[in-house]
Chain A
């Protein structure tokens, strides 16, 4: 199945790029290729100059070893639509698990940093609560804290608010906006146009496996150039 039909993207440090588009356009697939959750047939993906998922061999690209890919992924944080918190661990345990087990951070330091992150997303008082007892919005904020705990260079958001009740979407978007304004490099697949307007440096329209338009939010929303973009925006705005 040919999902991505030739896409190319460059994101600067501290830039926030939002990708919007209809379902099935390949937005999530594209995002998941970046941290090698999906394999690519051709092309290359680089984060901070380092090749992701593949290595050069005799001038060709071969799939990298599991260990290398795991190490590359520590630089890329991802927040999923369905949170994917570990249900058998408390909020704090979720956040400190990877720093301790993958980065080898000492437990006390990890706990201190974890508590700080939970504080930052407004959930310091939920540190010992299990995900089952948290609302969707709270779970997603813990998921964001968990991804941030690895101190990634890049944060990916795969429709992070699409599975949330409208009342709690705002809380999660507020965290994401604060991250964006704080200088994190982010690629955000979203349906939230308000967030795109507020926090994005660029907005990209994707359809049928291709990038249709790429422009700063003011231009993208006020004066879109492509017909497809205009069609899509007229339906959702």
Chain B
């Protein structure tokens, strides 16, 4: 059966991506980034609402999280795309152009839906991060004359970030994969590009294997970036142990010295 797979197609899809494919790949990236940013912002707002002394804000925050964690993402996406304009009575969601990328109304609706969904999860992640910071930090900052807001920004949130970044990284990883659902409202992203080719050639293995590979590239690149960020954030309590790269470099350096010796 392996013989009947056109490996050439897979090779082409992986090593010779065409212009249309690159556009789709880029769409997946910027949609995921925008949706994740929206999710972090909403999560921050919801987290502070939950910590508010006003009961109505705490209630709204709870309701938001309940609804968006309790319903499927695809339902939320369809609801926002097909329903938002109807619900608000006017065309709230319009296409937009930002030069580097332009967003069709489907993409905007998708980003909003994904962002809303993500915010519900980010709230808990952010809250856990803030709770992880010792109370004494806030007390010390405020005793020095900082307002609550300043103390949060300069002292608590930077420390909370260390706890928030690993799960946030996982969330972004998921976001890149979940963005594939936007295909179902007509956004031309990575999965959509694979499906379009599959529907015309009926070669599922070739196209879906190739697109799986590209998703793997995206998530792996992100993993590397995430490690760097986590390392940089823990700079203040590292034990200055050499990293893998540094140790690897130490092994190679005699080789390097030999190779570059003057003759």
Residues of A within 8 A of B (CB): 35, 37, 66-67, 70-71, 73-74, 76-78, 80, 82, 84-89, 97-98, 101-103, 130, 132, 143, 146-147, 150
CB <8 Å contact, B159 and A101:
no
CB <8 Å contact, B237 and A130:
yes
- Count chain B residues whose beta carbon lies closer than 8 angstroms to a beta carbon of A: 21
Can you name 25 A-B residue pairings with CB atoms under 8 Å?
A: A37-B139, A67-B147, A70-B146, A73-B143, A74-B145, A82-B136, A84-B134, A85-B140, A86-B137, A86-B141, A86-B155, A86-B159, A87-B159, A88-B159, A88-B162, A88-B236, A89-B236, A97-B154, A98-B145, A101-B146, A102-B145, A132-B237, A143-B140, A146-B144, A147-B143
Q: Which residue of A lies closest to B133 (CB)?
A: A87
List A contacts of B141 (CB < 8 A). 86, 98
**How far, in Å, is A169 (CB) from chain B's closest CB?**
20
Give CA–CA (A211, B20) in the complex, Å: 81
Give CA–CA (A67, B139) in the complex, Å: 15
Give CA–CA (A82, B139) in the complex, Å: 11
List A contacts of B139 (CB < 8 A). 37, 80, 84
CB <8 Å contact, B137 and A132:
no
Q: Which residue of B lies closest to A156 (CB)?
A: B143
Give CA–CA (A82, B141) in the complex, Å: 14
Q: Which residues of chain B in 112-154 are interfacial with respect to chain A, using CB atoms and an 8 Å cutoff?
A: 134, 136-137, 139-148, 150, 154
**When A and B form their complex, which 5 residue pairs have the shortest distance between CB atoms, in order from nearest?**
A84-B140, A74-B145, A98-B144, A84-B136, A102-B145
Given A80-B136, A97-B154; A132-B143 close (CB under 8 Å)? no
Give CA–CA (A73, B147) in the complex, Å: 10
Residues of B within 8 A of A (CB): 134, 136-137, 139-148, 150, 154-155, 158-159, 162, 236-237
CB <8 Å contact, A35 and B146:
no
Given A80-B136, A80-B139; A70-B145 close (CB under 8 Å)? yes
Q: Which residue of A lies closest to B138 (CB)?
A: A84
**How far, in Å, is B150 (CB) from chain A's closest CB?**
6
List A contacts of B236 (CB < 8 A). 87-89, 130, 132
Give CA–CA (A127, B181) in the complex, Å: 52
List B contacts of A86 (CB < 8 A). 137, 140-141, 155, 159
List B contacts of A97 (CB < 8 A). 144, 154
**How far, in Å, is A28 (CB) from chain B's closest CB?**
12
Interface SS of B by simple majority:
helix
Apart from A82-B136, A88-B162, A147-B143, what 14 extra A-B contacts exist at CB < 8 Å?
Answer: A37-B143, A70-B147, A80-B140, A84-B134, A84-B136, A86-B137, A86-B155, A87-B237, A88-B158, A98-B144, A102-B146, A102-B150, A132-B237, A150-B144
**How far, in Å, is B231 (CB) from chain A's closest CB?**
14
List A contacts of B134 (CB < 8 A). 84
Given A70-B142, A71-B145; A101-B154 close (CB under 8 Å)? yes
**How far, in Å, is A69 (CB) from chain B's closest CB?**
8
Give CA–CA (A80, B144) in the complex, Å: 12
List B contacts of A132 (CB < 8 A). 236-237
Q: Which residue of B lies closest to A35 (CB)?
A: B143
Give CA–CA (A82, B137) in the complex, Å: 10
List A contacts of B150 (CB < 8 A). 101-102
Of the candidates A80, A85, A102, A143, the one having the most CB atoms from chain B within 10 angstroms of its own CB is: A102
List B contacts of A147 (CB < 8 A). 143-144
CB <8 Å contact, B237 and A98:
no
Q: Which residue of A lies closest to B149 (CB)?
A: A66
List A contacts of B146 (CB < 8 A). 70, 98, 101-102
**How far, in Å, is A114 (CB) from chain B's closest CB?**
13
Of the candidates B140, B145, B150, B237, the one having the most CB atoms from chain A within 10 angstroms of its own CB is: B145
Give CA–CA (A84, B155) in the complex, Å: 11
Give CA–CA (A146, B144) in the complex, Å: 9
Query: Which listed residue (B148, B154, B237) contacts A66, Cβ 8 A?
Result: B148
